[in-house]
Amino acid sequence: MGLSKRKRAFIAAYCEDPKMGQADAARKAGYSIKRAKQAAYELMRDVDVKREIERQQAAKYDASVEVIAKAAKNSAVSRGSLCQQCDEVIEQCTSAGPGSWQMQSRLKAIELKAKLYGLLTEKVELGLDDKLVELLESGRKRAGIVAVSAEPVIKGELIGAAN
């Protein structure tokens, strides 16, 4: 079932300003002053309305974290200001109360902050593939280095030592 125009207006008003109360959002959505508090209560009990509010708020805070992550790649921005922005996102999610989207957004902000301080690093796996081996061999030829024997060395094996 789709959301009515008033329900969408309530969701937009409520998500626009997290400090706005539910009754204020209902008034802004077009409900009368006398009925706004009851309407807000009923709307917040509607599963579809709650789901849409959580989806929009999660997207909003995730977008904030992504903006901070993109700014982190720019060397002109200081690490301190980025960490402060992460702290603000964490605080906003904490003040919004318990819920899955709050936890996910907080964790993303905490992870980004840890990366900014160098506590987390990206894992990079390197391996020998055919292209890399060819590049190494061509570099050895250009440098005049004698090619090493093609026998594989087994870990722990002594090379050139008599037992």
In a domain? residue 126: no
User: pTM, whole model, 2 decimals?
Assistant: 0.56
Return d(Cα 162, Cα 114) in angstroms, integer: 51
Cα of 101 vs its chain's centroid, Å: 12
Is 76 among the domain residues? yes
Does any domain span residue 11? Answer: yes
CA angle, 14 as apex, 11 and 17 as ends, to 5°?
A: 140
C-alpha span between 26 and 7 (Å, rounded):
9
DSSP 153: P
Inter-residue contact 60 to 14 (CB < 8 Å): no
Q: Residue 17: is its pLDDT beyond 60? A: yes
Domain containing 66: what range? 5-116
pLDDT 10s digits, 96-117? 777 777 788 888 888 888 888 8
The reply to whether 161 falls in a domain is: no
Q: What rounded mean pLDDT belongs to the chain?
A: 80
